[in-house]
Amino acid sequence: MTAMDRIVYFDNNATTRVAPEVREAMMPFFGELYGNPSSMHAFGGEVAKHLSRAREEVAAFLNCSPEEVLFTSCATESDNSAIRGTAEFYGRDTKVITTKVEHPAVLQPCRRLKALGYDVVELPVNGIGHIDLDQLRDELKGTKNALVSVMWANNETGVVSPIREIAEICKEYGATIHTDAVQVAGKIPVDVQKVPVDMLSMSGHKFHAPKGIGIFYVRRGTKVKPFMLGGHQESGRRAGTENVPYIVGLAKACELARSGMAAEAVQLTRLRDKLEAGLLATCPNTIVNGDRANRLPNTLNLSFEYIEGEAIAYHLSDLGICISTGSACASGSLDPSHVIRAMGVPFIAVHGSVRFSLSRYNTEEEVDYVLEEMPKVVKKLRDLSPFGPDSDPTTFQ
């Protein structure tokens, strides 16, 4: 069997299949409804009505006002808008607090600010991927203008942060709170009335909308300067002609998620747990990374001791099985995942971490196929490895 004969796609935290309903909703805007929604004529005005309805659907998805929803090209743009826009508004007095396990779309702009002289703190995490909330409080004490950016759920391990408690701590100290909510979109409910974040980022392609469209939620009254300058679009807060087909598709994905999220979570949890139990039973010297009690229903991150995660992924790819060794945005590097390293995973396992991430389109038969093939791959690689339980520990350093 070759990869072309069968594709088992378990890399949905990297990107998802566009839902057929989403494609169908987008099609008119590639054809007859091609007007610019900013135009004065009635033709453009008709397109503007669809744009307005899409914004209302996304607002319902987040439980916010439509005026608080901005459309961007992706969550990377939204993350940069939140971090750099806040820092620009408050100036060098801004203290930026984030974590060591954030996505590069958050870590890199924070580190750029640090290079420019801003006070930037990256909080460590414990062995299951959580920050110390008392340490967050200590960092916030005495601050005048603080920005806290903590991801709602980790893209590699699926660990879900206590984001409501984190947001409430930020409110207690008068800090602005941003969350990268990319991985929770469509998987668990997001209600910004219950979770009082000031800013939130999402990408459509993580929950069955196309690549190239993102959400930037900005709570009314939040102080942030525009990141994209030019025209008057998005109420002057994000310049550039709106990507109407993709915005409409994003809104349809939000609608589908709202109606099907609860049932999907049950199904995904069942499949993930079956996959986890089967691999732990058939592949000794394997550990689960992250908080197993508080994680996304679709995500499983495992470390296989004594072998390389990249080798596992390559061998599975030959069998048509698509998985990841970490964030797709860092896949060009062979260094161990910064997330796994931050959690203190033992060195004999840190290189052997892989991520399985499922979606509504995965089946039990696909899980069974992985459970049949993966133990063979792991055994083969371990048989070839010079390392093992009886190896000199210094050879791993």
What distance in Å separates the CA atoms of residue 96 and residue 114, rounded to the nearest whole number? 9
Question: E strands within the chain?
Answer: 8-9, 69-72, 94-99, 119-123, 145-149, 176-180, 199-203, 214-218, 286-288, 299-304, 321-322, 353-357
What distance in Å separates the CA atoms of residue 246 and residue 387, rounded to the nearest whole number? 49
Catalytic residue among 64, 110, 254, 329: 329
Tell me the chain's radius of gyration from C-alpha atoms.
22
283 catalytic per annotation: no
Residues 6+ apart with CB under 8 A from 280: 286, 288
Would you say 238 and 228 are in contact if contact means Cβ atoms under 8 Å apart? yes
Would you say 323 and 316 are in contact if contact means Cβ atoms under 8 Å apart? yes
What distance in Å separates the CA atoms of residue 215 and residue 35, rounded to the nearest whole number? 22
Would you say 25 and 248 are in contact if contact means Cβ atoms under 8 Å apart? yes
What distance in Å separates the CA atoms of residue 242 and residue 200, rounded to the nearest whole number? 19
Structure token digits, residue 23: 């494609």
**CA nearest neighbour of 229 among 244, 213, 216, 240:** 240
Within 13 A of 170's CA, how many CA atoms are on the CB side?
A: 26
Strands 94-99 and 119-123, bridge-based pairing: parallel
DSSP-derived 3-state class of residue 162: coil
What distance in Å separates the CA atoms of residue 240 and residue 129, rounded to the nearest whole number? 38
Classify residue 323 as exposed, middle or buried by CB count within 10 Å of its CB (0-12, 13-18, 19+).
buried
Structure token digits, residue 225: 């300067």
Neighbours of 256 (CB within 10 A): 20
Q: Point out the residues that are catalytic.
A: 329
